[in-house]
Chains A and B, each alone.
Chain A
Amino acid sequence: MKSIKRILKELFKDPMGRIGLIGVVLIIMLSVLAPVISTHDITEMYTQDKLREPCGEYLFGTDNYGRDVFSRIIYGARVSLEVGIISVGIAAIFGLIFGVISGYFEGWVDNLIMRFMDILFAFPSILLALFIVSALGPSIANTMIAIGIVNTPVFTRTVRASVISVKSTEYITSARSIGLKPASIILKHIIPNILSPFTVQITLALSGAILTEASMSFLGLGIQPPDPSWGSMLNESRKYMEIAPWLAVFPAVFIICTILSFNILGDSLRDVLDPKLKL
């Protein structure tokens, strides 16, 4: 594996990678610096300025309660990122563990894990999420947990699949034949070789998570107001799309940009990480 520095350097060489990297960094900064950047209190209702178009005072206009959309968007970055990253983190970690275990050892362990995953998997993701949330009660934390759990089986499967395919290659068999310990085989040989599907999965899941959260708030169980998540803002704006399009446009744009940059980053990251692409 290469040092982070090296990876970043190579990422920066690739124009796509550069875009993605910059995008992601920007969004992260946005969420970190939210208090500094935001121009208004996100819950303050300027009742005389309901549904104002974007203007000097309200960069992105105001919503139906007269709250400043810009500031809410900025804070929304926080919420959405948190949800995205943490929930995917949960899913990825469990997915990796379960996937590698069941992929490498197969047999009954494999069976057990995969059956369990099937159970999780068989619930339609959005319904499962709704379920978990309605059991735990809607809140940011629970939303993350829900989305995390929902995504775990997907990761487990992808990892398992690629582990199996890697395992069948000569060099693993040889690595085994020379009596390397499973642990080291997994770490040294298998993990690096499943990284590319894994990263793809992560980037997909990241966008997926942000979207799931959005859909959940559409179905009334996502992040709850007054916490501004882009998803819930977009959802609340549906009603006003024609008379106050900016309410929908800005959250949508931000969601899209975020997901775009994460995906682009992921793609070029894969190109960098994937040894097969080198000569």
Chain B
Amino acid sequence: MENILEVKNLGIDLVTRDSIRRLIDDVSFEVGRKQSYGIVGESGCGKSITAMSIMQLLSYPLKTGKGEIFFDSDAGKVDLLSMKKEIRKIRGKEISMIFQEPMTALDPIFTIEDQIIETLEFHTNLNKKDMRELALEMLNKVGIPRAEQLLGEYPHQLSGGMLQRIMIAIALICRPKLLIADEPTTALDVTIQAQILDLMNELKESFDTSIIMITHDLGVIAETCEKVAVFYAGQIVEETDVVRMFHGAAHPYTSGLLRAVTSLGDKSKSLYTIPGMVPVGGYIPKGCRFEDRCDRAKKICKNNPPELLEIEEGHKCRCWLYNESGDEK
């Protein structure tokens, strides 16, 4: 298959003692080889848990309710969701992940060396020395000075930027096919952000991995991604390539987001904000989930949920505006 990852109508549920609530509703997308795929959306729109679900990292009370996730592993095409223990062979080796909070993402009581090597221990049978070599090499690759001594140090002794680099090192040390980066820069200050993103870009080249970049920051998308999916309230509302998203955004929400950003630039306009709130988990509108915030809503939007349709080559959108079948209603 030419795609590294294919997510097919994925559904994720919040299972409490007495209720099951669907947070993510049939999400589908593909990530191509060496492609970097962006997932953008406001916080709480379900992008992170989607990412988590790929590696079966969801923990109580979250679980994947339906769908498949096909991954083109060394062992051929596999459905990650149906895997049991075997998934561990994939984790960290073929798919790896970077998290939002470098500060808390590392175990505070082990040295950096331990934590880098750990991955190797799981997936290779190198001896300690080689592992160490590899670790050092990795650290240099992610641009860490004085790597030697840093190996012996503990997370709490290092800065966020450092830690994130280390996270990247850990993530890439097994040269995975796919790297999932969940808001890798959010917790860092701007200057560092840039460095990290550049780093990821160049590593992507040298390791030729695919990347799923999850963020709420369109800037990051612009910097790193080729293809983008816009999440809203647990659904993909628009999927297209970066260029088209910035210049021909179809979905009202997307354009809303863009205006919010672009208006940042010039002081003439006051900061644009999308009116209203993201529907909080639980209440799911009957029709289009964006309807109540949408300035171009039609009456049909109220009660009929729109489909995610291909409105032009490689450009999907979930909105009645682009659905002629919607017009006559």
Contacts and interface: CB of A to CB of B under 8 A. Distances in A.
Establish whether A and B are touching in the complex (CB under 8 Å). Answer: yes
DSSP class of B's interface residues: helix, strand, loop or mixed?
Answer: loop
Contact of A14 (B17, B61, B62): B17
Contacts of B18: 13
A55 interface: no
B14 interface: yes
Interface in B1-47: 14, 17-18
B9 to A, nearest CB: 23
B14 A13 contact: no
Interface string A52-67: 0000000000000000
A13 B17 CA distance: 8
A279 interface: yes
A14 B17 CA distance: 8
Contacts of B62: 279
Interface in B260-281: none
Nearest to A15: B17
A279 B18 CA distance: 15
A19 to B, nearest CB: 15
A54 to B, nearest CB: 40
Contacts of B14: 279
B61 A279 contact: yes
A277 to B, nearest CB: 9
A13 B19 CA distance: 12
Contacts, number: 6
Contacts of B17: 13-14
A215 to B, nearest CB: 38
Contacts of A13: 17-18
A17 B62 CA distance: 22
Nearest to A14: B17
B86 to A, nearest CB: 28
A114 to B, nearest CB: 24
B24 to A, nearest CB: 14
Interface string A253-279: 000000000000000000000000001
Chain B interface: which size bin?
A: under 10
Interface string A1-32: 00000000000011000000000000000000
A13 B14 CA distance: 17
B120 to A, nearest CB: 32
B95 to A, nearest CB: 24
A14 B18 CA distance: 10
A279 B13 CA distance: 12
Contacts of A279: 14, 61-62
A14 B62 CA distance: 18
B236 to A, nearest CB: 22
Nearest to A168: B156
Interface string B47-81: 00000000000000110000000000000000000
A276 to B, nearest CB: 13
B108 to A, nearest CB: 11
A275 to B, nearest CB: 15
A123 B191 CA distance: 57
Nearest to A10: B17
B20 to A, nearest CB: 14
Nearest to B17: A13
Nearest to B101: A170
A260 B22 CA distance: 37
A265 to B, nearest CB: 17
B46 to A, nearest CB: 12
A279 B23 CA distance: 12
A14 B14 CA distance: 17
A94 B274 CA distance: 51
Interface string A61-89: 00000000000000000000000000000
A13 B16 CA distance: 11
Contacts of A14: 17
A14 to B, nearest CB: 7
A33 B80 CA distance: 60
A279 B17 CA distance: 14
A279 B281 CA distance: 11
B223 to A, nearest CB: 27
A194 to B, nearest CB: 19
Nearest to B62: A279
Nearest to B18: A13
B124 to A, nearest CB: 35
Interface in B155-170: none
A69 B61 CA distance: 48
Contacts of B61: 279
Interface in A220-245: none
B38 to A, nearest CB: 25
A279 B60 CA distance: 10
A279 B15 CA distance: 11
A8 to B, nearest CB: 15
A279 B62 CA distance: 9
A145 to B, nearest CB: 42
A13 B18 CA distance: 8
Nearest to B156: A168
A95 to B, nearest CB: 28
A279 B48 CA distance: 13
Nearest to B14: A279
B312 to A, nearest CB: 38
Nearest to B103: A170
Which 3 pairs across A and B sit closest by C-beta, in order of nearness? A13-B17, A13-B18, A279-B14
Interface of B: 14, 17-18, 61-62
6 contacts: A13-B17, A13-B18, A14-B17, A279-B14, A279-B61, A279-B62
